Structure 1
Amino acid sequence: MVTEEVIQIHSSKECTRSLGGVRDALYVLNGKWKLPIIIALREGPKRFKDLQRRVEGITPKLLSKELKELEQNEFIIRHVYPSTPVLVEYELTEYSNSLNDLIQAMADWGLQHRARIQSR
């Protein structure tokens, strides 16, 4: 028998708010590349080619697009150094630290899920 304590009833307002938050997060972090780019930049600032090597499988065109979107959403900053040739580096902003708990939770869940599927 199910008790009232086990059942969590969410109001329509709470549900709508949660769905809106999840949609916003997915909109900003959509695709399979943004979080790996952020994780690669945790090691410190990187040039474009270094990022491309670190995030295996990403094309230069897609990396460029993802970096622009991450910059627009204030997760990374792009530094251009006047040299010949021009040197461009990307690094994380303080705001990107707001993703730390999310990234850790996803990593933990992913490892648990992989273990579950492999144990079949």
Structure 2
Amino acid sequence: MPVVEDEKFHLRYITTQLHNYPAHVMNEATVWARAIYPLLRLAEQGDILATSEVTLSVQYSKFELNGIIDGILGKCIAGQLETPYLVVIEAKRGLEGKNPQPQLYGQLLAVAHLNWEDNGNEC
């Protein structure tokens, strides 16, 4: 799908703003406000919308995963997320940074679960 002039204008604006204030020195809220969410918004079309701070809860037979997804680009009907297409989860950096493996494993399990359901399987 080609990028139209209006979208090119917005991309130039976002990248220009990042040249003046590099993302690696921003806090999380500023990175989201100036870069990530504006880019997700550019991808919106029809019923595919960008949302942030989405609650995730997945029940498995032996454990459960709960958390908040930083951002999602997905199909929304009547304001409710129906199908996620792109899930954005931040990795902590600096003093907040911890071993990312447990979070990554949880994310991979959640994605595997969604794919399993999409293929017509039940839990």
Q: TM-score, normalised by structure 2?
A: 0.28
Could you say which structure has the higher helix fraction?
1
Could you say which structure has the higher strand fraction?
2
Q: TM-score, normalised by structure 1?
A: 0.28
Between 1 and 2, higher relative CO (CA 8 Å, sep ≥ 6) is seen in 1
